[in-house]
Amino acid sequence: MIRQPTFTLATLSERFGLTLSGDGKLAIRGVATLAGAAHGQISFLANPRYRKDLLSTQASAVVLPAADAAAAPCAVLISSNAYASFARIAALFDHDSGVVAGIHPTAVIDSSAQVDASASIGPGVCIGARSQVGAGAVVGAGCVIGEDCAIGNDSHLVARVTLVKRVRVGTHCLIHPGAVLGADGFGLAMDQGRWLKVPQLGGVVLGDDCEIGANTTIDRGALDDTVLEDDVRIDNQVQIGHNVRIGAHTAIAGCAAVAGSAKIGRFCLIAGGAGIVGHIEICDRVTVTAMSLVTHSITQAGSYSSGVPLQETRDWRRNAARFRHLDELARRVKTIHNNENTE
């Protein structure tokens, strides 16, 4: 049984540079939502829509902005970024059963591979020729590491992760179950009525501190590498095509797809279900909202959207029918405008 860690509010305040209002001797044994918290737990308020839950929370303490501190019925830790501060506190309670260095007897490792003595190789792992696993790295159960791959120090492949070939993972990366990195990119050439497969000779490069979600796929490049720079965060079930380049600190939410050779800048946010066509560039600090389709390059920072918001089906049908006549209507308006200017 794992012993539950306990921290006083004073300890949390000092450790994370937060302003304490209340009893610093209060013991915190866990984290929870405002609505679900009990005595001994700490919660947070970052979204104004949950202010109503603050008034009735049973939490022993809440992390929140200074403007909301007076409304709290309990002790508070004041932060200018309550969500980030809560994340750091919650990490203290994220239990890990402990990683044991060494190689499980069921693992199969090529004789030319190099595994650091402090790494942990789980059951059923397969590591191919010339691949390397760095110090403190964890390769969980059922992972397959192909040829010429490298896993950086302290990176963690949770379980059933596949690095097909020529994949380089930086330090402190986290890759969730089912992710596949380094599969063939979708490269095809039409020749005499049949598809000819274009060899994918590049690799995949992940910078440091990246996170790749469950069942996400990142294809290796055709000639150059597919590259994710430092601190890129990819959600579950995302498709990253070959030769894509994603700038540092960009985050991409679930079910988004990025087609081959697209370039995404730094500090971008790509929301769920968005699509980005190939061979375009998106500059730094761009937000693409959910279900949007990006069909051309974006050269100015800002928020971009496309698609039709949800509406009743009968209204959507009428509007869809009218949409087909927009070009005709625009031409008529232009003609009327030109006629008025010539009179």
CA distance 237 to 164: 17
| Average pLDDT rounded to a whole number, residues 52-63 | 96
| Residue at 131: amino acid letter | S
Q: What is the pLDDT of residues 190-233, one digit of tens each?
A: 999 999 999 999 999 999 999 999 999 999 999 999 999 999 99
Question: Which is higher by pLDDT, 330 or 131?
Answer: 131
Taking all residues of the chain, what is their mean pLDDT, rounded to a whole number?
95
What band does 53 get if pLDDT is binned at 50, 70 and 90?
Answer: very high
Q: Same structural domain for residues 78 and 115?
A: no
For residue 1, being part of any structural domain is answered with no
Domain harbouring 60, CATH code: 3.40.1390.10
From the list 39, 242, 296, 337, the catalytic residue is 242
| Average pLDDT rounded to a whole number, residues 232-239 | 98
Q: Same structural domain for residues 115 and 209?
A: yes
What band does 341 get if pLDDT is binned at 50, 70 and 90?
Answer: confident
Q: Same structural domain for residues 106 and 185?
A: yes
Q: Same structural domain for residues 122 and 17?
A: no
Q: How many domains does the chain have?
A: 3
Is residue 302 within 8 Å of 287, Cβ to Cβ? yes
**Res 343: pLDDT:** 63
List beta partners, residue 62. Answer: 43, 76
**Res 203: pLDDT:** 98
Radius of gyration over every alpha carbon of the chain, rounded to an integer in angstroms: 26
Q: Is it the case that residue 55 has pLDDT exceeding 90?
A: yes
CA distance 31 to 94: 10
**Res 339: pLDDT:** 79
* Cα atoms found within 13 Å of the Cα of residue 207, Cβ hemisphere only: 15
Q: What is the pLDDT of residues 64-77, one digit of tens each?
A: 999 999 999 999 99
| Average pLDDT rounded to a whole number, residues 79-104 | 90
Q: Same structural domain for residues 276 and 177?
A: yes
Is residue 92 within 8 Å of 77, Cβ to Cβ? no
3-state helix, strand, coil in the chain (%, to 5): 20, 30, 50
CA distance 199 to 187: 7
* Cα atoms found within 13 Å of the Cα of residue 315, Cβ hemisphere only: 5
**Res 26: pLDDT:** 96
Q: Is it the case that residue 1 has pLDDT exceeding 50?
A: no
Tokens representing residue 96 in the block: 């890990």
pTM: 0.89
Taking each helix axis as running N to C, give the angle between helix 82-91 and helix 9-16, from 0 to 180 degrees, rounded to the nearest 10: 120
For the chain, how long is the longest CA-to-CA vector? 90
Handedness of CA 133, 231, 242, 141 (dihedral sign): positive
What band does 340 get if pLDDT is binned at 50, 70 and 90?
Answer: confident
Q: Same structural domain for residues 27 and 159?
A: no
Q: Same structural domain for residues 220 and 246?
A: yes
What band does 96 get if pLDDT is binned at 50, 70 and 90?
Answer: low
Q: Same structural domain for residues 50 and 160?
A: no
CA distance 132 to 42: 41
Domain that holds residue 55: 7-91
Of 120, 114, 117, 225, give the one whose Cα is nearest residue 168: 225
Tokens representing residue 92 in the block: 């203290």
For residue 96, being part of any structural domain is answered with no
Q: Is it the case that residue 2 has pLDDT exceeding 70?
A: no
249 is catalytic: no
Percent of the chain at pLDDT > 90 equals 88
Q: Which of these ranges, 178-187, 276-285, 307-316, has the smallest mean pLDDT? A: 307-316
Please list, in sequence order, all residues whose beta carbon lies within 8 angstroms of the beta carbon of residue 258, skipping any fewer than 6 positions away.
238, 239, 240, 241, 244, 246, 252, 264, 270, 276
Domain harbouring 295, CATH code: 2.160.10.10
Q: In what order do the strands lie in the sheet with 75-78?
A: 19-21, 75-78, 61-64, 41-44, 30-31
Please list, in sequence order, all residues whose beta carbon lies within 8 angstroms of the beta carbon of residue 189, skipping any fewer than 6 positions away.
195, 196, 198
CA distances in angstroms from 250 to 54, 68, 288, 311, listed in the order given: 32, 30, 12, 31
**Residue ranges with strand state E in 192-244:** 194-197, 204-206, 211-212, 217-219, 226-228, 233-234, 239-240
Is residue 98 within 8 Å of 116, Cβ to Cβ? no
Q: What is the pLDDT of residues 266-311, one digit of tens each?
A: 999 999 999 999 999 999 999 999 999 999 999 999 999 998 888 9
What band does 323 get if pLDDT is binned at 50, 70 and 90?
Answer: confident
Most confident of 2-6, 97-101, 230-234: 230-234
How many Å from the N-terminal Cα to the C-terminal Cα in the chain?
89
Q: Same structural domain for residues 258 and 111?
A: yes
Q: Same structural domain for residues 44 and 145?
A: no
